Structure 1
């Protein structure tokens, strides 16, 4: 059977290994496994969300409200924008797919950082677009602009804070960069970890409202999977010019968010205290990772997220270390597939992090 040529060389996206797989492969008891690979909130989600979902379980037989009125209203209030500026997706990656299918084709070019979220490239290959990348690990806007001037891409992806490295772009520098981009080039600001950046350094915080006010060619992406602790509910959103949102709706399937997901995200927005406490705990524990890296004499990229990237020395192989940790029930992300000799580790609870330090010290 023949399939479309443009998907021939696409590598399947590898999500963080689930606990169940480690149980099967290594015979380790579930209670002894720690998953620090997928940047989930170690505090889970708000108790208010859990109660709301239980209360609405009886409605599972019914299709969800496809207007998503309550969730849109909550996001409109949070970001001080209109409902017409918002689209909801099954994770923000679904909106990335919409954007690429709406704007790009086999004659298009799509610009992204050298190391960044893998789904940009995967979706770009769906339509046969040419992929352009900068050099270096962190976002360098001068390099982005040089490539933009030479290649005139249809879409530019700016992931800030960036996954999988954790670095973030200064908001003023980002706005200055977008001002130099022509109106027909779509600039996607992926802010999946923006709640963390706001707490650590307000100069890195990008307000969707400000993007919307200044630019008609940008869209801001957010998610409930990280700070809100709803990774299993798969809810993301985009905030952009009404004309962009209108085009994306042509690609959105009906009922793309479940009844339970809609309720969970809507209630999660209301529990600001839970999110704030989770982020404060995150950066408190992150200091321990910084101290650990210093003790082990390995580099750590300054992170504005809920994970850290530990860059190993030349005599240490990230794939071997990640495997050794896995065999001991500790799941982390090996970044060798991104061309980095590094591991990405979600900042967990105090107990989980202590276990990571002990096991990794032993292996190193």
Structure 2
């Protein structure tokens, strides 16, 4: 059977390994497994969200409110924008899909960092677009500017902070770059981890109302999967000028998130105190990882997210480290596929992180 030829160039996205796989393949008891590969909030969902879901669970037979009025109102208040500036998706990656299909075809070009969220490239290639990448793994705006002027891409992706490496540009530098970009180029500012970056450094904070006011060709992406701990509910959103959002709506299927997902997101956004407590714990625990890396002579990338990337020298191979940890029931993300001899570790709870350090020391001793 023949399929669309553009699929020949598309790689399948590899999600973080699930707990169930480790139970099946390595015989580790599920209660002993620590999953630190998918950047989930290790403190779980707000108790207020759990209570709300329990209350409405009997309404699962009903379609959700497809206008998503309450959630849009909550987001419009949070970001000081109009509801007409907002579109809701099944995760923010669905908004990426809308954006790519709204702008791209086989003659299009898409610009992104060398090392960034894999779905940018996957969705772009599905549309037949040509991918243009910088040389640096981190966002290098000089390289972005040079490549932009050379190729005049239809879309530019900026991941702020950047997944999977964790670095983040200053907002001022981002605005300087955006001022060079033609209004016909769609700039996607992915803020999946913005809650973390804004907490750690005010200079990294994207003010969404300011962004879309200054740059009508920019769209901001947010998600409830990370700081709000709703990864299993799949709720994301895009915020941009009304004209942009209206065109995305032409690609949105009806009822694209569930009744329970919608209710969970509405309740989660009300409990900012819980979110801020989780973020504060995240950065307290991250200091332990930074010390661990320094004490052992490993380089790490300063992170503005809920994960940290630790790089290894020639004595170690990151895939072997990740595999040995996996066999012990600790799931981390090997970055070999990104041409990096490194692992990405989600910052867990105090207890989880202590276990990671103990096991990682043992694995390093075995492999040295």
What TM-score, normalized by structure 2, do the two folds share?
Answer: 0.98
SS of residue in 2 equivalent to 1:187: strand
How far off its partner does 1:3 sit? 0.6
Partner of 1:170: 170
Q: Matches of 1:150 and 1:75 in 2, distance apart?
A: 37
- In the alignment, the residues of structure 1 paired with residue 247 and residue 11 of structure 2 have an alpha-carbon distance, to the nearest angstrom, of 28
Equivalent in the alignment of 2:313: 313
Residue matched to 1:102:
102
CA distance in 2, matches of 1:310, 1:247: 41
Shift of 1:9: 2.6
Aligned equivalents of 2:68, 2:280: Cα separation in 1:
31
Shift of 1:139: 0.4
Deviation at 1:253, TM superposition (A): 0.1
Task: Give per-residue Cα distances to partners, 1:316-352, cap 9 Å, x unaligned.
Answer: 1010000000001000000000010000000000010
Equivalent residues in 2 for 1:1-364, closer than 5 Å: 1-364=1-364
What is the deviation of 1:135? 0.7
* C-alpha separation in 1, matches of 2:216 and 2:320: 47
C-alpha distance in structure 1 between counterparts of 2:254 and 2:314, whole Å: 50
Partner of 1:119: helix, strand, or coil? helix
Q: Distance in 2 between matches of 1:13 and 1:315?
A: 29
Superposed CA offset, 1:129-161 (max 9, x none): 000000112101110000000000000000010
**In 2, distance between residues paired with 1:335 and 1:238?**
28
Give the SS at the match of 2:319.
Answer: helix
2-structure distance, mates of 1:192, 1:54: 27
- Structure 1 CA distance for aligned equivalents of residues 336 and 3 of structure 2: 29
Paired residue secondary structure (1:216) = coil
CA deviation map 1:176-214 (0-9, x unaligned): 110110000000000000000011001001111111111
Q: Distance in 2 between matches of 1:63 and 1:183?
A: 38
Q: Deviations over 1:78-121 (max 9, x none)?
A: 00100000000000000000000000100000000000000000
Q: Secondary structure at the match of 1:233?
A: coil
Give, in angstroms, the shift of residue 166 of structure 1: 0.2
5+ residue gaps, structure 1, are none
Equivalent position SS for 1:157: strand
Q: Secondary structure at the match of 2:303?
A: coil
Q: For residues 284 and 266 of structure 1, what CA distance do their matches in structure 2 show?
A: 28
In structure 2, stretches of 5+ residues that fail to align are none
TM-score by length of 1: 0.99
* Secondary structure of the corresponding residue to residue 237 of structure 2: strand
Which secondary structure does the structure 2 equivalent of 1:61 belong to? coil
CA RMSD of aligned residues (A): 0.5
Offset, 1:315: 1.6
